[in-house]
Amino acid sequence: MNIIVTGASRGIGYATVKKLAEKDSHSIIAISRNGEALEKLKDECAQINSNARIIPFPFDLVQGVIIDELEPLVREYLGSVDRLVNNAGRMINKPFEDFTEEEFDEIFDVNVKSVFNLIQSVLPLFNENGHIVNISSMGGYQGSAKFPGLSLYSASKGALTIMSEALAEELKEKKISSNSLALGAVQTEMLGEAFPGVQAPLKPEEMAEFVAEFTLTGHKYFNGKTLPVSSSTP
């Protein structure tokens, strides 16, 4: 399959690309700003499955012009797209009254606007039975327990979730599914930076196993859905 994964330089995205490579000989465009980490990921995937094709693409999803830079690369290396995992994310933990407008934009640009731009750019290249997976958060899931400091992060994930649900309706005729996964806490650098000392119940590799399998097969069972993926958060 032809797959695009954003936020692949570390954490859940990095581990998800490895799991996908382990499962089959997919062609995967791996995106993040850190090119060195993507090259390391490519080498590690080659050890796991030498037939998997990892195409590292160092790219800033906010500063870069997706339609000009990313879309031609997808055309050249993949030709068409079967799976898109919008995993790149930005979290800032701060009291609501201290947030600046710049920080608001920083969070929403990565978590919502870049996803809109990316989906719109690659939609014409999507195959039937395609699946768009948007990585959301339990914080952005209606009725879940909320965390002080994550007002804007949670709001951005809520926006992503609803965009994902609404998009599924519009893409039905094209036979492209769109789902979002509202993840609970995972022990990544993002979590460690925002909440020093907090211990999450899952490692990135454990969550990645679920994300990778859901990306490949979840559209058979779900469309326009947001799945809470947490064993602890109500």
Ligand X SMILES: NC(=O)c1ccc[n+]([C@@H]2O[C@H](COP(=O)([O-])OP(=O)(O)OC[C@H]3O[C@@H](n4cnc5c(N)ncnc54)[C@H](OP(=O)(O)O)[C@@H]3O)[C@@H](O)[C@H]2O)c1
Among 19, 20, 32, 158, binds ligand X (CB under 6 A): 32
Q: Does position 105 bind ligand X by CB under 6 A?
A: no
Q: How many CB atoms lie within 10 A of CB 108?
A: 19
33 binding ligand X? (CB under 6 A)? yes
Is 13 one of the binding residues for ligand X (CB under 6 A)? yes
- For residue 25, what are its two tokens? 């000989």
Is 60 a binding residue for ligand X by CB under 6 A? The answer is yes
Shortest Å, Cβ 173 to ligand X: 28
Minimal distance in Å, beta carbon 175 to ligand X?
26
Q: Are 216 and 20 in contact (CB under 8 A)?
A: yes
Is residue 54 part of the contact set for ligand X (CB under 6 A)? no
Catalytic residues: 153
Among residues 3, 17, 92, 135, the one that binds ligand X under rule CB under 6 A:
135
Here's the x/- map for ligand X, 168-197, by CB under 6 A: it reads as ---------------x-xx-xxxx------
Segments in 50-201 forming alpha helices (H): 66-77, 101-108, 114-122, 151-171, 189-194
- Return phi, psi of residue 227, to 5°: -100, 120
For the chain, how many helices (H) and strands (E)?
Answer: 8, 7
Q: Which is nearer to ligand X, 77 or 127 (CB)?
A: 77
CB distance 30 to 38 below 8 Å: yes
Our CB check for ligand X shows the closer of 6 and 51 to be: 6
Name residues whose C-beta falls within 8 Å of residue 62's C-beta, 6 or more positions apart in sequence.
106, 109, 110, 113, 114
Q: Which residues bind ligand X (CB under 6 A)?
A: 6-13, 32-34, 60-62, 87-91, 110, 135, 137, 183, 185-186, 188-191, 200
